[in-house]
Amino acid sequence: MLKLFCPDLFIQDIYELDLNHIKKNSIKGILVDLDNTLLPWDSMYIEDKLIDWTKRCLNEGFSLCIISNNRYDRIKYCSEHLGIPAVFGSFKPCKSAFKKGMDILGTQPKETAVLGDQIFTDIFGAKRMGLYAILVKPLSSRELYWTKIMRVLERRLLKILESKKLISLI
């Protein structure tokens, strides 16, 4: 049961992602969360560093797709400015959101990674679908009230996963 919440990789942020490492795992496409993964929660400011990271992923042969529970207009704005597609109207961790993303990427589960900051949406949804799950630390402590409550549970779960040597905390 714990394995459904256990990321395959736990890194500080997206910039720490070793693209060669995930290439060796046959990953061709990455479904990327928006809030507190690519951008701080509710931010619309896209730094050049993020645009460069996106271009580097694409140049390395990866397909990218934003998968977010956020508002349509914000997802669309970020998608257009980063030059990558997005899944709209998704509700992670529902399987349909991840299926839509894989359809856009043209990938199968074994070729797809999910990159996100939340265990109960991004990681759980990825693991249920048989996708490679990458957890990053949230970019900001600003977030929805509900998410703040879930973070308390996440911290407890991360300590359990670490105590069972299923992950190594950074």
What is the predicted pLDDT for the residue at 142?
67
- The torsion of the CA quartet 45, 125, 17, 100, rounded to 10 degrees, works out to -70
What is the predicted pLDDT for the residue at 50?
96
Angle at 104 between CA 89 and CA 24, to 5 degrees: 120
Amino acid at 39: L
Structural domain boundaries in the chain = 2-163
**Alpha-carbon distance 22 to 134, whole Å?**
10
What is the architecture, at CATH level 2, of domain 2-163? Answer: 3-Layer(aba) Sandwich (3.40)
User: With a cut of 50, which residues of the chain have pLDDT below it?
Assistant: none
- What is the pTM for the complete model shown? 0.89
Strand partners, 2: none
65-89 in b/e form (b: 16+ CB < 10 A) is bbbbbbeeebbeebbeebebbbbbe
**Side-chain half-sphere exposure of 158, counting CA atoms within 13 A:** 20
What is the predicted pLDDT for the residue at 143?
66
What is the predicted pLDDT for the residue at 162?
81
- The residues, ordered by sequence, that sit 6+ positions from 74 with a Cβ below 8 Å of its Cβ are 34, 42, 44
